[in-house]
């Protein structure tokens, strides 16, 4: 727990947001919350104050956290008629003319849009941090998320005790947008590692080897990774319930590819991974765990891990 309770707003209480907010409540902070969907029981039955809009959250809290699905959702949460910005505008200013509140977006969205959002919040006399997370629902529940932060370093230092209530690996990356850039880079690496593990295990199975034993052997060498450990096991056991849904990883790779076009950077393997996800979606797999990318490769090879090679 930080030295004294803070007034914290939380907008977006979905699969990730609800447990993250719950950790802040458990630490003794006063929370003001709003979500578009049904209020989760864990929050509804807590000490949190439910507000009628994101504006109401921003009017009451000194630190406002947003945790919503995509770039348009963040823009709406911040700048709609009853959004966070409207609540900031109606807040009293300090003696220096600044409102002094801090907006922290923990969603995974466009780095380019993030920079524009930060400038608009700064113009209202408030600081802005982009702090996307990695670790999924399990990490949110266990407070073990990796948190990648962009924005003023002094502001990061103020908020870091709150991040430590929600995560373990917390890194200040640089200026606004750099946290989102780090998250996009993370999702590129994860997607390409899933593809590599899928190819390797499919190759091993088709060659007649036991893919489970091959995976065990590889775990002791240079090819070892969290993806091989966790998602390799999913591929072998055919457990594709999320997890992290393919449609969400598609969204992150769309951010990567759109940003790459704007920057003039070639990401050929990222594009290939996205096409494999697209194939999964075409076969009804929008809500499959992203480890199910292997199914697209199995379709191309007319062979499934686990079946006996001819």
Catalytic residue IDs:
183
- Which residues, in sequence order, are CB contacts of 130 under 8 Å at separation 6+? 105, 109, 111, 114, 118, 149, 150, 151, 176, 177, 178, 179, 180
Q: Are 219 and 229 in contact (CB under 8 A)?
A: yes
Where residue 39 falls (left for φ over 0; alpha for ψ -120 to 50; beta otherwise) is beta
Residues contacting 302, CB < 8 A, separation 6+ = none
Q: DSSP of 95-141, one letter per residue?
A: TTS----EEEE-S---HHHHHHHHHHHHTTT-EEEE--EESHHHHHH
In contact, 32 and 58? CB cutoff 8 Å: no
Question: H helices of 168-245, where?
Answer: 178-206, 211-218, 226, 232-237
- What are the backbone angles phi and psi of residue 68, rounded to the nearest 5°? -130, 170
> In whole angstroms, what separates CA 299 from the centre of its chain?
29
Q: What token pair was written down for 14?
A: 């979905």
- Please report, in angstroms and rounded to a whole number, the separation of the first and last CA atoms in the chain: 60
């Amino acid at each position: 727990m930080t030295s004294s309770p803070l007034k914290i707003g939380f907008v977006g209480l979905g699969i990730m947001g609800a447990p993250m907010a719950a950790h802040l409540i458990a630490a003794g902070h006063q929370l003001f919350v709003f979500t578009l969907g049904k209020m989760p029981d864990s929050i509804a039955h807590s000490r949190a104050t439910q507000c009628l809009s994101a504006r109401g959250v921003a009017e009451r809290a000194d630190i406002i956290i947003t945790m919503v699905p995509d770039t348009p959702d963040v823009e709406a949460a911040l700048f709609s008629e009853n959004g966070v910005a409207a609540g900031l505008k109606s807040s009293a200013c300090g003696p220096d003319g600044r409102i002094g509140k801090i907006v922290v977006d923990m969603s995974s969205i466009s780095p380019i849009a993030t920079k524009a959002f930060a400038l608009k919040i700064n113009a209202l006399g408030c600081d802005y941090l982009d702090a996307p997370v990695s670790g999924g629902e399990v990490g949110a529940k266990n407070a073990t998320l990796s948190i990648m932060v962009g924005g003023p370093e002094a502001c990061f230092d103020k908020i870091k005790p709150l991040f430590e209530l929600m995560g373990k690996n917390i890194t200040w990356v640089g200026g606004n947008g750099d946290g989102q850039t780090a998250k996009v880079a993370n999702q590129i690496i994860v997607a390409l590692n899933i593809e590599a593990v899928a190819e390797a295990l499919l190759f091993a199975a088709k060659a007649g080897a036991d893919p489970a034993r091959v995976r065990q052997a590889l775990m002791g060498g240079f090819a070892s990774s969290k993806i091989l450990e966790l998602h390799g096991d999913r591929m072998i056991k055919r457990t594709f319930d999320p997890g992290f849904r393919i449609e969400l990883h598609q969204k992150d790779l769309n951010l990567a590819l759109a940003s790459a076009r704007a920057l003039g950077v070639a990401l050929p393997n990222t594009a290939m991974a996205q096409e494999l996800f697209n194939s999964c979606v075409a076969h009804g797999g929008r809500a499959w765990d992203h480890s199910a990318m292997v199914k697209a490769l199995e379709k191309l090879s007319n062979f499934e891990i686990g079946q006996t090679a001819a």
